[in-house]
Amino acid sequence: MTRRDLRSVLMGVRARQLGTAVLGALVVDVMTGPSGSLTAPTRGLTGSLLSIRAVIFVALGVALWAFLTFRDRLATYTSRWTAAIAPSRLVADRRYRRAGYAALLAAAIAVPPYLSQYWQEVAVDQIGVYVLLALGLNVVVGFAGLLDLGYIAFYAIGAYSCAYWTGSLPIRPPHVFNPFVTIIFAVIAAMIAGVVLGFPTLRLRGDYLAIVTLGFGEIITIYANNLQSVTGGAQGPPKPIPHFSINLLGIHYQWKISNLPYYYLLLAFVVLILVLFHNLENSRVGRAWTAIREDEVAAAASGINTFRYKLLAFAIGASTSGFAGVLFASKIQVITPLSFVLQQSILVLVLVIFGGMGSLAGAVVGAAVIQWLPNALKTYVDKADLFMYLGAVLVVMMIYRPQGIIPSRRRSRELAMAEAGLVEADALTTASKEV
Amino acid sequence: MCLTNHFWDYFVPGIANGFLYALIALGYTLVYGVLQLINFAHSEVFMSGGFGGLFVINWAIADRHPHGLSSVWFVLIGIIAGAVTGGVVAFVLERVAYRPLRRRHAPKLAFLISAIGMSYFLYNLAGKEFGRDARTMKPPFTVTPSKPLFTIFGASVNLYDAVIALSAIIMLVLLDRLVQNTRLGQGIRAVAQDADTAALMGVNIDRVISQTFVIGGLLGGAAGFLFGLGTAGVSYTMGFTPGLKAFTAAVLGGIGNIRGAMLGGLLLGVVENLASSCFGASWVDVVAFYILVLVLLVRPMGLLGERLGRSA
């Protein structure tokens, strides 16, 4: 190829990238622009495309394109100071990383008492609980490479189990327990549901799992709505679910409606689960998941029972979700089927994808950032548009950064290798052709 | 009680539903045939077809009260508008959510996630732009929808069901001919059978995949309009449930198999309606899910087997 050919190819690529930048800018313009309504369905489109906004956004898009295209030339001038502040190198070093985690944990312990009531509530109801959920889904999506779209159904099962065993549902349990004790029942119930659901689907192609869990998530809310005499129907359990309490060995403590005690309880559980999952990742089980992700046929040939390990990942994810459900139910006391709609499953998926598939730190940071941002921006952005942005986040992450913001080193290497055609990077094909 | 009493009263409307499911299911099955991927965003193609058809037909009808032959024209305009919108959305969808990933040989998981993202993006964007309340569609007929047109086995068939069924049959036959007899159909079948070999034989895979999405989008969009016609309204969340059911229909008939999708759609529509006579209307959405799990347990390749190339 002559130099002139190379140059014309490069021009073509650049022109296409410019086009992408301009179109992308217009999409962002429409997304952030005014909304239409029933009476004026075109107001949103005309308001964002036929106004000065469009020009500004296109200009920004072109500027971004120019920056990215000519970054290499700029880099020679700026490399000196970017190298000095680049935190990624520090994070990569294991010693610094450990210190970083310790500092984060210290901040997580020390900061919340100084936050306002509103942010404390966000930290518990929206961040804390969802960090737990994201950690659980991370096992399914990140470790095992399976797609679970009905994840929140297990959360619902956990919450309703807690409501049942604390005597809040219309049907009475044989014995009423403290919410702490119901954790065991809820985790078992969610795990059983996970196994029952995973059993028929995990033997088949993995993408069936996605759609079956999608349907399952929908069914669970229909059940919660329709079985009035069992679940309390659309209004939720008629009696509020009690808070956690300890009455043991002369210690009497009750978690009240205030947020801080729940925050520290959640933090303790999150740290516990982090340690647990970190060890799991590096155990025999974790290695089996890695093997299945990378090459299911080879894994099966090496004597790994792929079906059993996939089922295990699915069940662990489900029980973590059920566990989070108990904490949630006991904290807010009043649950309705609306807390468990399918959108929540997608939300948790976004947390995991954004943070980084297979990365525990990613799941935590992803959950914290994505749950914090809408609250910080709520005066500027309509909350009803949240899932439009989250959907866009999923697409953009998949196109430009599938490994997430804090990638797991192994997982990002797999994604790169999958693109070179060397490994599969997910467990969505089937090793044993039982079909 | 259930099934014996009013059997045909539930059976016949189920067929109209079934035809709609079949139209949507074809979108899943065609894309699955060429890419071996579930197109999660297909339900949003259906939804956008509903909006496209609604805006055009509401604008075309304006203050008129169409009847007779002009009703036929209006329905036709609506179907075409819905189909074109669906086709355009499906084309864009493939360009944005699939092609960049295909270029990079991304793992399957990435495709599923980006399609889910597109689905959420599209329907919430529609909600933002067109309002979050259901929009009503102006009826292209002066006949009241519930008025029976004729009766089969004592069950009355109303005009809407008849229109939906008739339009769907025409489109299904057209599609079947297209895939069987044209060069384009040959390309689709070739890619479905073996994409690499097809490429070696000179089939432009990128173009065939794009065309497959558009064909699925045309059918799905038309189905969106027909759905809006039947329920006299369109809303941004209308895609989800029919989408899930149509996928079930596609799996039931054998995903990747065109005639299977048609059969699966009809069967699902009928079974679901009959089941709703037994368990009540609030459980109707549960039926499709149980059928899906049952099919996967008992006969995962579906009734007519998979593979677009072999058995279509």
Residue A82 has pLDDT above 60, yes or no: no
Give the Å distances, CA to CA, from B114 to A271, A393, A396, A430, B161: 31, 9, 8, 21, 35
B129 contacts in A (CB within 8 Å)? 30, 35-36, 41, 44-45
Instruction: Point out the residue among B100, B120, B130 whose CB comes nearest to the CB of A387.
Output: B120
Within 10 angstroms of residue A50's Cβ, the number of other Cβ atoms is 10
* Beta pairing partners, A106: none
Residue A200 has pLDDT above 90, yes or no: no
Residue A69 has pLDDT above 80, yes or no: no
Amino acid A313: pLDDT: 92
Residue A282 has pLDDT above 70, yes or no: yes
Amino acid B25: pLDDT: 92
**HSE-up (13 A, CA, CB side) for residue B80:** 7
A171 shares a domain with A70: no
A17 shares a domain with A144: no
B247 contacts in A (CB within 8 Å)? 211
Residue A81 has pLDDT above 60, yes or no: no
Please answer yes or no on whether B120 and A206 come within 8 Å at the CB atom: no
State the sign of the Cα–Cα–Cα–Cα dihedral A83, A87, A92, A94: positive
Tokens of A249: 């060995």
The per-residue pLDDT of chain A, averaged, comes to 81
Q: Is residue A102 part of a domain?
A: no
Task: Tell me how close the Cα of A417 comes to any Cα of chain B, in angstroms.
Answer: 9
Higher-scoring residue by pLDDT: A12, A142: A142
Among A85, A104, A136, give the residue marking a domain's end.
Answer: A85
Please answer yes or no on whether B130 and A30 come within 8 Å at the CB atom: no
A214 shares a domain with A321: yes
Q: Is residue A98 part of a domain?
A: no
Give the confidence band of A91 by pLDDT, cuts at 50, 70, 90. Answer: low
Task: Tell me how close the Cα of B152 comes to any Cα of chain A, in angstroms.
Answer: 34
Within 10 angstroms of residue A87's Cβ, the number of other Cβ atoms is 9
Look up the domain containing A38 and give its range: 3-85
- CATH value at residue A143: 1.10.3470
A81 shares a domain with A181: no
Q: pLDDT (tens digit, 9 = 90+) per residue, B13-42?
A: 888 889 999 999 999 999 988 888 888 899
The residue-averaged pLDDT of A223-243 equals: 81
Give the Å distances, CA to CA, from A132 to A182, A255, A266: 17, 19, 8
Amino acid A176: pLDDT: 79
Higher-scoring residue by pLDDT: B149, A197: A197
Please answer yes or no on whether A394 and B116 come within 8 Å at the CB atom: yes
Give the confidence band of A46 by pLDDT, cuts at 50, 70, 90. Answer: confident
The residue-averaged pLDDT of B250-265 equals: 87
A235 shares a domain with A301: yes
Q: pLDDT (tens digit, 9 = 90+) per residue, A373-410?
A: 888 887 777 778 888 888 898 898 888 888 888 777 77
Mutation pick from A395, A412, A417 vs chain B, by most beta carbons of B within 10 Å, is A395
**Which range, A80-94, A359-373, B209-223, is most confident?**
B209-223
Q: pLDDT (tens digit, 9 = 90+) per residue, B234-251?
A: 888 888 889 988 988 988
Residue of B nearest to A147 (CA): B109
Give the start-to-end residue ranges of the domains of chain B. Answer: 7-311
Higher-scoring residue by pLDDT: A86, A340: A340
A175 shares a domain with A71: no
Do residues A112 and A123 touch, judged by C-beta distance below 8 A? yes
Residue of B nearest to A344 (CA): B120
Amino acid A431: pLDDT: 41
A193 contacts in B (CB within 8 Å)? none
Amino acid A134: pLDDT: 93
Q: Give the whole-angstrom CA distance, residue B15 versus residue B176.
A: 19
Give the Å distances, CA to CA, from A430 to A10, A322, B101, B236: 40, 28, 21, 35
Q: Which residue from B111, B121, B169, B130 is spatially nearest to B52, judged by alpha carbons?
A: B130
Q: Is residue A109 part of a domain?
A: no
A402 shares a domain with A344: yes
A41 shares a domain with A124: no
A388 shares a domain with A262: yes
The residue-averaged pLDDT of A62-66 equals: 85
Residue A206 has pLDDT above 50, yes or no: yes
Amino acid A75: pLDDT: 63
Higher-scoring residue by pLDDT: B145, A389: A389
Please answer yes or no on whether B120 and A44 come within 8 Å at the CB atom: no
Amino acid B312: pLDDT: 39
Q: Is residue A359 part of a domain?
A: yes
Amino acid A153: pLDDT: 92
Q: Is residue A172 part of a domain?
A: yes
Tokens of B146: 């519930």
Amino acid A137: pLDDT: 93
Q: Is residue A106 part of a domain?
A: no
Q: Give the whole-angstrom CA distance, residue B13 versus residue B7.
A: 11
E-strand ranges in chain B read 135-136, 148-152, 155-158, 233-234
Q: pLDDT (tens digit, 9 = 90+) per residue, B77-99?
A: 999 999 999 999 999 999 988 98
Contacts of A78 (CB under 8 A, 6+ apart): none
The residue-averaged pLDDT of A348-359 equals: 88
Q: Give the whole-angstrom CA distance, residue B51 versus residue B235.
A: 8
Residue A72 has pLDDT above 80, yes or no: no
Please answer yes or no on whether B282 and A222 come within 8 Å at the CB atom: yes
Amino acid B311: pLDDT: 40
Instruction: Point out the residue among A201, A395, A421 whose CB comes nearest to the CB of B96.
Output: A395
Q: Is residue A99 part of a domain?
A: no
Q: pLDDT (tens digit, 9 = 90+) per residue, B223-232?
A: 999 999 888 7
The residue-averaged pLDDT of B108-114 equals: 87
Mutation pick from B111, B112, B113 vs chain A, by most beta carbons of A within 10 Å, is B113
Task: Tell me how close the Cα of A301 comes to any Cα of chain B, in angstroms.
Answer: 21
B110 contacts in A (CB within 8 Å)? 398, 402, 415, 426
Amino acid A312: pLDDT: 92
The per-residue pLDDT of chain B, averaged, comes to 85
Give the confidence band of A231 by pLDDT, cuts at 50, 70, 90. Answer: confident
CATH of domain B7-311: 1.10.3470
DSSP letters, B21-82, are HHHHHHHHHHHHHHHS---TTHHHHHHHHHHHHHHHHHHHHTT----THHHHHHHHHHHHHH
A132 shares a domain with A44: no
Residue A288 has pLDDT above 60, yes or no: yes
Q: How many domains does chain A have?
A: 2
Q: Is residue A189 part of a domain?
A: yes
A319 shares a domain with A220: yes
A300 shares a domain with A246: yes
Residue A219 has pLDDT above 50, yes or no: yes
Q: Give the whole-angstrom CA distance, residue A324 versus residue A317.
A: 11
Amino acid A44: pLDDT: 77
